[in-house]
Structures are given as structure tokens and as C-alpha cells.
Structure 1
Amino acid sequence: MTVQPSPQPAAPAPGGRWSHLATGAELAFMAQLVVAGAVFLATAGMRDDHGIGFAGGALTWTPRVLLLIVLAGYLHWLLFTLPAMALARLLAAPPWAALRAALGATAVTAAHLAWAASAWDVPVRWTVAWITGTGLLPVTAAWYAHHRSLGWGAMAARIGAVTGAALLLAVVGGFLQEWTHWHAYEPPRLDRSQYVGDWIGGGAYRLRLSENGEAEGDNLPLVDENAGPWDTCSGTGTWTFVPQPEAGRPAHGGPRDSITLTIPGCGALRDWQAAGTVDRPQLFVVKGDPGTPSVIPLHRP
């Protein structure tokens, strides 16, 4: 009589600790955020920086951003990847480790989706896309480390190598984009008549430009250095369209078409510069300290 071998339980995690089920997952999560930030900076020339520059602001915030990335990586490891891999270990069937990890991740995704939808009333499809997009690489890294019985150091070396290659590609791509001006952003060139009408922004800023040159503004930001950050001015006056010979690239400080306002009683007012696109134009001003500028955009209602 042949005795059938009893099914063997899932192999224990290296070292017998549950935390080793998700080795390297936090590194993968942090790496994808760093690479995403590098790609964002490398493609900055494709977006409007409103003359304040993406790179300068990013360098200022780098230490705090890196700290937040580390905290987010370990929080994601604790709340998502580790529960997903623990569920994968508890599942008796199917026997394939990769599929078990996928099923575990799906179950945890569903739990987080239900919590986010009930707590914040966020759209389901965007929540699913965000959870899936940020969780795929960490779960894959955790499965790979558990399947190969790799420790944290080995995973750090592998993820570091892949991240370094990705960052190098982002840097090269950024230089090529800057050199070739491929899909570079250009401010819209609008006729004077296209500025006529109502412009709103921030819930409180309002500007009405009439065809005859009259202007009516509510809560317009002041230029006066002694004015506080919330000091504004409202009134009626005139506006003048100031076109430029040619629109330059914002990253190079090129000129933009603008609107000059003259409202008695408000003193000097900032010029509202053109932004957005021809189909969706914007007007904007920049206020605040040069080190921490604030952009106030207006758009069509």
C-alpha cells in the first residue's frame, strides 16, 4: 500500500520571522517615488513653471521630501505589503507563490479601497489605480526576495542598481529634452479679444475685462512690500494688453504676453501674465518671497 505524502505547509520565511515575508518592499516603494520625482523634474520643460522654476523649489524641499518618502515607505510596508504577503502565506491553494502574493495583494487592496471610499468618499477607479500603481512593485519585490530567500542587504543592492539606472536615464532624458526642446512648453499667444470676459481663481479672486478697456477686479493681490499676504484690493479701472514680440520658454525667462491693470486707490498692481494653453488660457501673478513664491492663477469660469 502506497502512502501518499501529506501536503507540505508553505516554506517559512527566512529566519522564521513574519517581517521577512516583505523584505525589500519598503525599498521598492521608496525607489519608485524617487524615480517618479526624477522623471517629473526631467520633464519640467514640458510644463509651465510660471517663471518660478521646478528644480529650484524641489532642491529647497529635498530634505523634507526624502524624510517623508522614508516614512511613507515603511508605512506602506506595514499597512499593505506585509499584510498581503502574510495572506499569501496563509492561503492553502493554489500552490504557486506568485499567484498567492497576487491574491493577498488583491484582498488588501479591497480592504484599503473600502476604507478610503467610506472615510473620504474618493472615486473608486482613482483609488484602485493609486493603490495598484504604488503596490505592484513592492509586492513583486517582496515575492522575489521571499522566493530567492534574500535578505535586506541583497535586496538593497538589487533595488539600488535598478534605481540608479532609472535615475541615469531620467537625467539623460532631461538633458535631451532641454537640448532639443522636444514638446517644450510655450505660453499661449492670444489676441486682445480673447482676454475680454470674466476670470476667476481661488474662490475669491475675480477679474472682469471689457472690450472698451474697462476692468473690474475683486481681491486683487497688491505689489506694496508693506502689504500682508492676505491684503487685497477691489475696484474698477482700465486694462491694457501688453503683447510681446515672441513668447519665450518660461524655463529660460522668456517674455510672455500680459495684462496691465490700473485701478485708482489700489496703487501698483502686478501684471497678469498669460499661461495655460490656447484652448484653456490662464492669467497668473506670482507673489510672496522669492525663496517661497506663490502662484495665483485665474481661469475662465
Structure 2
Amino acid sequence: MVMPDVHAPAPDPAERRGRWSRLATGAELPFIAQLVVAGAVFIATTGMRDDHDVTFGAGFAAAVPRLILLVVLAAYLHWLLFTLPAMALARLLGGPRWEAARGALCAVAGAAVLTAAHAWWVTSLWDVPFVPAAAWIAGAGVLPVTAAWYARHRWLWWGGMLARVGALTGIALLVTALGGFLQVRTGFHAYEPPRLERSQYVGEWVGGGGAYRLSLRENGEAEVGNLPPGKRNSGLWEACSGTGTWHFEPKHESGGIFHRGPRDRVSLSIGGCSFGDWQVAGTADQPELFYVVRDPDGPGGPDVTTLHRV
């Protein structure tokens, strides 16, 4: 089915330049689209990274309505704080002569000014570097500003932008789905857990910003400090500390490119603590140990405790 090309009646130049309400028509649509496509790409590439044996389940499905609402609200907030001011600066700096070219250049200049201002605001509130903050803000604003300039240049209504953005988003989602299918079938860059020797697990492991500690010794002794308990519904201050033993359990290699091999495991036996097997994650250069606590009857998702070697 071919979507109709929805245009508004083109007004005369003086009336066209005076309508501020149409400066950023449809700019929120590409913002929503890029978030949807980015989420689809994230899901499609799950097999290329370590998911710590935690996949999307019922908890994710239940959160979808809230995620949609947050995406729509973020789109309109971005429209108000970024795209509309950028197009307003383009309107002030532009003119009737060479309107299309000057409008595009002024929109870029306005977006650059707003990017710097927003990045400065972000760095003043949070401890993040200026350059990465500016890059993320500018990257998220490229498509909305381009769409707003296109809609104003072509004098499109919101429906015309919806047809174009919807078609391009559908194509991007189909390509993403095809890429995800091919990645699963071919095992392209598929993640495999590291295969280490027992001696490589000996040493100090920390997690939770240094709050969790695990010491594995060559003689098989283990000491833990402040590790979260291996069960749900524990007390607020309940934690596991003590000494005991550990045992390394290597598993077989992967069964082929279509199957991720089972992870090697480290079993802990600590008096007064209830743990299952700690599984191996990360890479050979930066290995990790993680433990998943699942509650099939609980409303929340799995709890994952991750430790990395010091």
C-alpha cells in the first residue's frame, strides 16, 4: 500500500516565514523511531555479548507499556528543549534569500550551540566528561533537526512526516530482524565464555564498587566478605562473610557455532551461606564470576551479582 503524500497548501513566502508553530513539525517522530530501532538492534545483537544467562522474559514484557510512555515523553521533551530552539535560531538567523541552504546551515549552528549548552548543564549536574556528553546529545539530535528542516522546507503536515518516518522505520526494523536472524544462524561474533585454568582463578575478586569481596587461595580455601545472600527476600543488612572452600568445575567447549558452550563454574562452600555455582563470564583478559538469584513467583527480574578479578 502506497502512503499518500500529505502536504498542506503552500502559503505565500511572508506567511510561511511567520508561522513559528510549524518550525519543528514531526521532529518528535524520528526521535521515537531512532530509540525503537536502537532497542531492536540491542535485542538482535544479544548473542554477541555476555547476557549473564539473563534474557528478556515476563518482566520485560510487563515493562513495555511504561517504556513506550517514557519514549514518547522523552521525544516531546527533546522536541521542546532541543529541536524547537534550534529551528527558532535558524528562523532568526535565516532569511528569504537562499532560504533552504541558509535554513539548513542555521539549524546546524543552532543545534551546535544547544548541544554545548546542554552538555555543560549535564556535566555540571553529573560527573561525566564534556565531550562524550556532547557527542550523545548531538547524535540524538541529528535526525530530529534534519526531519524538522525537511518538513519546513517541504511544508509537510504531521501526517506526511508520519508516513515517511514510519516507512523508513519499518525498513530499518526488517533489516535489523534479518541481521539478528543471520547472526544467530551463523554465530557471527557470537560470545563464548572464557576457558581458564584453575590457577587463573586464584586471587582477589571484588564487586559492587568494592563492597563485595572474594578471596580464592591455591590450597582450596576461600574467604568471602559482605557478599549478597543467595536467596530472595533476605533482610536489608543481611550479607555473607566467612571462610570455607572452593572447587573449580571446568565444562566442555562449545558444541558448534549454533550453540553457546556451558560456562565453567566455581563452587563455594561457606559456613552459614547458601550459594549455588558461580559461573564464569567476561573475557580471558578480564574474567568475571557471577551468581544469579531467580524467583519464579516474584514480580521482579533476576538479581545478578558480578565479581571481577583485581
Pairwise CA distance, 1:55 = 6.3
Answering whether residue 138 of structure 2 is matched by residue 129 of structure 1, we say: no
Pairwise CA distance, 1:233 = 1.3
Pairwise CA distance, 1:228 = 4.0
**In the aligned structure 1, how far is the partner of 2:15 from the partner of 2:303?**
53
Q: Which residue of structure 2 aligns with residue 23 of structure 1? A: 25
Structure 2 residue matching 1:199: 3-state secondary structure:
strand
Structure 1 residue matching 2:23: 3-state secondary structure:
helix
Q: Which residue of structure 2 aligns with residue 184 of structure 1? A: 190
Cα displacement string for residues 90-127 of structure 1 (whole angstroms, at most 9, x for unaligned residues): 00468422111111111211221222222324211101
**In the aligned structure 2, how far is the partner of 1:189 from the partner of 1:124?**
39
Q: Which residue of structure 2 aligns with residue 3 of structure 1? A: none
8 Å contact from structure 1 (residues 276, 282) kept in 2: yes
Q: Which residue of structure 2 aligns with residue 119 of structure 1? A: 125
8 Å contact from structure 1 (residues 113, 127) kept in 2: yes
Task: Indicate which of 42, 45, 48 corresponds to 2:44.
Answer: 42
8 Å contact from structure 1 (residues 201, 299) kept in 2: yes
Pairwise CA distance, 1:128 = 1.3
**In the aligned structure 2, how far is the partner of 1:224 from the partner of 1:34?**
35
Structure 1 residue matching 2:275: 3-state secondary structure:
coil
Q: Which residue of structure 2 aligns with residue 297 of structure 1? A: 306
8 Å contact from structure 2 (residues 232, 293) kept in 1: no
8 Å contact from structure 2 (residues 279, 291) kept in 1: yes
Structure 2 residue matching 1:22: 3-state secondary structure:
coil
Closer, same or farther: CA 71–242 of 1 in aligned 2, 3 Å: same
The percentage of aligned residue pairs carrying the same residue is: 63
8 Å contact from structure 1 (residues 222, 270) kept in 2: no
Pairwise CA distance, 1:257 = 0.5
**In the aligned structure 2, how far is the partner of 1:121 from the partner of 1:209?**
34
Q: Which residue of structure 2 aligns with residue 67 of structure 1? A: 69
Report the number of matched residues: 290
Q: Which residue of structure 1 aligns with residue 82 of structure 2? A: 80
**In the aligned structure 2, how far is the partner of 1:51 from the partner of 1:223?**
16
Answering whether residue 200 of structure 2 is matched by residue 194 of structure 1, we say: yes
Structure 1 residue matching 2:54: 3-state secondary structure:
coil
Query: TM-score, with normalisation over the residues of structure 1?
Result: 0.89
Pairwise CA distance, 1:20 = 1.2
8 Å contact from structure 2 (residues 205, 309) kept in 1: yes
8 Å contact from structure 2 (residues 204, 309) kept in 1: yes
Q: Which residue of structure 1 aligns with residue 229 of structure 2? A: 222
Cα displacement string for residues 206-243 of structure 1 (whole angstroms, at most 9, x for unaligned residues): 10000110000012233356634753211001100011
Q: Which residue of structure 2 aligns with residue 213 of structure 1? A: 220
**In the aligned structure 2, how far is the partner of 1:57 from the partner of 1:40?**
17
Task: Indicate which of 59, 84, 102 corresponds to 2:108.
Answer: 102
Matched ranges for 1:239-278 at <5 A: 239-247=246-254, 254-266=261-273, 268-278=274-284
Closer, same or farther: CA 13–186 of 1 in aligned 2, 3 Å: farther
Segments of 5+ residues of structure 1 without an aligned counterpart are: 1-8
8 Å contact from structure 1 (residues 20, 146) kept in 2: yes
Pairwise CA distance, 1:47 = 0.8
